[in-house]
Chain A
Amino acid sequence: MSDLDAPTGNTTAEDAGERKQAASFADVPPTPMRAFARLPGLRALRSMRTAIYLLIALVIATVVPTLVPQRITNPEKVAEIGRTHPYWFSVGERLRVFDVFTSPWYMAIWVSLLVVLLLCLLPRTRAFVRQVRRSTATPRAGTLPRLPHTVEWRTDAGPEAAAAQVRSVLRRRLWRQGRANDAGQYVAEKGTVREAGSLLFHWSLFLLLTGLAATRFLGYAGQAAIVEGKEFVEAPIDYDAWTNRGSLGDSVHRGFTVALDRFQVDDPDTAETPDFVSDVRVIDGGREVFAQQVHPNVPLNYRGVKMYQLSFGWAPEVVVRDPSGKVVFDDFVLTRPGGPRGSWTGVLKVPSLEPQAGFRVFLFPDPQVLTPEQAAQFADDDLGDGVLVANRSPNPVAPLLVFEEWRGDLGLESGPQNVNVLDVSAMTRADVGAAQLGGDGFDLDDGLAVRFADLRHYSVFSIKRDPGLVLVLIGASLLLLGLIPALYSRRRRLWVWVRPDPDAVDAGAEGSAAATLVTLGGIAYQRKDAFSDEFTDVVTACRAAVPPQERAPESDVSKP
């Protein structure tokens, strides 16, 4: 990237020798500084070609996560590959193809790219600062350099009047003009903003990535389900899942409470695309702070923690009593859609019983009674043809809870378990029953009694704290701000020389006013083709303001 936008001017030997003094009028502005040039290898490392190769490598590496499912976006699919192709799965795990974005090899490409970028940017930034200071500095008197575009003409106007006219033409055209030396020479420049924009763009990338890193290491993100009427405490224990656990530990959590008072979802029969909304109250330090409705596009934002409405579901309250009538379980069970016959399924575990008990529950919000013939078509599903119901609609009409009782060892000792899965490898199916909402419940064969006490919605929130967000936003804005001039602006310079005509001076007083010689030279560092037109325009405007002598020889337009 060091040679991106680099002026193609020729650096003269005297430029290096006379760096301390002001540049001569004949000097073409210096090319970007050659830092580290003496260290072998470093020059190649910070060349644009290296950066291009690395960027191409990054694009090719990114093909992998578009073809292979990633754990962060599609964990189910990754787990499925683990089950169906264990050998390839282990190979993939070793190569980290399921976690490309956090894998060492992907990071290595990024880091190399950033290092090369930094090595390009530092010298370029230094050179740019120097260039801004020096590009229109008053030059020492000298001859006009060899330039792609040069025009010279004689005019009857006096040197001062002519210089003032040219100056005002260029000012109207927004050229940045230096001060003239005693010989009437100065330099004007336009499009310095190109390099400024390019530098801003590339530095902003670093700002943006710093923000991303801050989010990853200083922030956290997870999900939590709250049952209608219940509360959630913003502390690690109340989270159900994590997408980013952060690196600062538990102390950074805010510890306030969010109470879900009500959850509403549009009737899917009347609304084509149902909206859903959670009415929540935020309680902090024992005091209610505010109440808000959280929609899919309207998150809750409190003390840097944001809660987004993600999804929702049904949570039946199930009460289990042992044969003596003692309550051994009383809680809301989170169920998910997608169960057999349109049911919502969930799991509850009662480890206090001996032997331990586990239930699979199937919720039918709007059950429809089936004939045995109708049920026969479902003989192969989890419920079997003994259960004569199917779900008709997602609206709770006469909700029915079907449950399947398992007794044995829940396997809780063998480590953390998924709360949504019942491990039946050491259990036997004991009984099947059903209970209506608010009814008396169902007595199982082994003396347990199960009651379907209540049915509420639960609402799932994506919760996160993102301290890098502001940096990312600033980085992205600056990046855009820099991109526009970097792409559309182009740097070009004019050499202006207005002086008394030496020939006329030699000829002596002919009575008429002394003629003036005006010279304009120009060079563009980008889009040289477009500059021919612009240079012609500038010259035309100058000649309109400072008309050439009629008897003078025609102007000499030279092009490369």
Chain B
Amino acid sequence: MSTAIRLSNATFLIALVSYFVAMVASFGYLAYKAEPWRKGAMAALGVGVTSQAVSLAAIVVHLHRAPWGSIYEFCSSMALLMMAVTLFAIVPRRGLAAVSGFLCGVAVVLMGAGWVWYAPPSTLVPALRSNWLTFHVFMAITGSTMLLAAAVVSALYLVRLRWEGRNPSWDLTAATTKEVDAVADAESGTRTPELAGRPTGPGAALAATPRAGRVARQPAAERLDELARRLVIIAFPIWTVAIFAGAIWGEQAWGRYWGWDPKETMSFMIWATFAVYLHARATKGWRTRGAAWVGVTGGVLILANMFVVNILVSGLHSYAMP
């Protein structure tokens, strides 16, 4: 094993540990809402993202190819992307930071799974060397990571929605925070997302009770729903492009752009599922719970696509090369 690959593996493990620490710190923040926990999570994430970037860069520099030649590298790239988004877009916002623990958890599981199916990075068989392929896989990683994150947020939304249903006085709080938001908006002309996540009205006392606490401290359902929607509307076109780029590559490499290969079938299913999600959001009776459940199903399909199809089903996309 060359030095570069050893370095890559070591930094991968450092990142894995850092994300685990970040996950614990994020859950600490969720539980105690104290700034040091959030700062700690941010620091751990910073270390993790940096060292994982080194890990993947080592593969790129050493083998002169993109870091997604095996299921291990694919998982690693996906986790890096998810954690980079968490580091730069989720943790810095106090109103959303409570979500980051769950995203870290997903990244840790992804990397753990990648480590289980570890294969030493090596060069690829000829059919896998193409710019369209590089682009295809890049888009597939980006799209599936964001869709998976959206599914996690949708699941949190469902939990939160249930909690809000059981705690009707929350509505009062929500109304109050909305007003606070509106006043702040009118005064400063800027949005202050932190305000809405923190109950300040009559519901605040309720939110502080230990039993209801964990869910109460989560961002409001509305906010989670909006985050999921944003993730999906960004990721859906990316996933569409990933499928098209894959089709173009398939046309070049195998002479057919679509052949209902297991991976192609699954990616179509994921695409259709998130198309349902987008349509459900615009349909009465489906707008809230229905759409969120569809999103969660989409996340399950993405995981099935990554692990079950690659490992158990043989096809042109399986990494099991002769």
A3 contact from B124, B276, B278, B282, Cβ within 8 A: B282
> Which of A31-39, A61-69, A414-422 lies at the interface?
A61-69
Q: Is the CB of A479 closer than 8 A to any CB of chain B? A: yes
Q: Are B260 and A70 in contact (CB under 8 A)?
A: yes
Q: Are B279 and A4 in contact (CB under 8 A)?
A: yes
User: Which among A55, A480, A533 has the highest number of chain B CB atoms within 10 Å?
Assistant: A55
> Which of A365-373, A375-383, A451-459, A481-489 lies at the interface?
A481-489
Query: Which B residues, 250 to 282, have Cβ-Cβ distances below 8 Å to chain A?
Result: 251-262, 265-266, 268-269, 272-273, 275-276, 278-280, 282
Cα A484 to Cα B233 with chains together (Å): 9
Residues of B within 8 A of A488 (CB): 233
Residues of A within 8 A of B202 (CB): none
Q: Are B122 and A66 in contact (CB under 8 A)?
A: no
> Which of B52-60, B104-112, B183-191 lies at the interface?
B183-191
Known contacts A66-B266, A74-B314, A272-B122; A55/B276 CB under 8 A:
yes
The tally of residues in B whose CB lies under 8 Å from a CB in A reads 53
B126 contact from A212, A273, A299, A533, Cβ within 8 A: A273
Residue of A nearest to B260 (CB): A101
Per-position 1/0 for B221-265, Cβ under 8 A of A: 000000000000100110011001001000111111111111001
Residues of A within 8 A of B127 (CB): 296-297
Q: Are A274 and B126 in contact (CB under 8 A)?
A: yes
Cα A295 to Cα B254 with chains together (Å): 11
Q: Are B125 and A559 in contact (CB under 8 A)?
A: no
Minimum CB–CB distance for B290 against chain A, Å = 8
Residue of A nearest to B251 (CB): A469
Cα A540 to Cα B187 with chains together (Å): 12
Q: Is the CB of A163 closer than 8 A to any CB of chain B? A: no
Minimum CB–CB distance for B133 against chain A, Å = 9
Known contacts A48-B283, A272-B122; A306/B255 CB under 8 A:
yes
Cα A337 to Cα B186 with chains together (Å): 75
Residue of A nearest to B291 (CB): A52
Q: Are A532 and B185 in contact (CB under 8 A)?
A: yes
Q: Is the CB of B309 closer than 8 A to any CB of chain A? A: yes
Q: Is the CB of A51 closer than 8 A to any CB of chain B? A: yes
Q: Is the CB of B169 closer than 8 A to any CB of chain A? A: no
Q: Is the CB of B320 closer than 8 A to any CB of chain A? A: no
Which label, helix, strand, loop or mixed, suits the secondary structure of the B interface? Answer: helix
Q: Is the CB of A329 closer than 8 A to any CB of chain B? A: no
Q: Are B255 and A479 in contact (CB under 8 A)?
A: no
Query: Which A residues, 6 to 51, have Cβ-Cβ distances below 8 Å to chain B?
Result: 48-49, 51
Residues of B within 8 A of A297 (CB): 126-127, 129-130, 252-253
Residues of A within 8 A of B313 (CB): 66
Known contacts A3-B283, A62-B265; A56/B255 CB under 8 A:
no
Per-position 1/0 for B188-199, Cβ under 8 A of A: 010100000000
Per-position 1/0 for A293-319, Cβ under 8 A of B: 001111100000011101000000000
Cα A392 to Cα B259 with chains together (Å): 36
B261 contact from A3, A56, A63, A73, Cβ within 8 A: A73
Minimum CB–CB distance for B63 against chain A, Å = 10
Query: Which A residues, 500 to 545, have Cβ-Cβ distances below 8 Å to chain B?
Result: 532-533, 536-537, 540
Q: Are A308 and B189 in contact (CB under 8 A)?
A: no
Q: Are B123 and A273 in contact (CB under 8 A)?
A: yes
Q: List 12 A-B contacts (CB under 8 A).
A: A59-B269, A59-B272, A59-B276, A272-B123, A273-B123, A275-B126, A296-B127, A297-B129, A297-B130, A462-B254, A483-B240, A487-B233
- What 17 new A-B contacts, CB under 8 Å, besides A62-B272, A275-B126, A480-B240? A1-B279, A5-B282, A52-B276, A52-B280, A55-B275, A62-B265, A62-B269, A66-B266, A66-B313, A74-B314, A221-B256, A273-B123, A273-B126, A462-B256, A487-B236, A536-B186, A537-B189
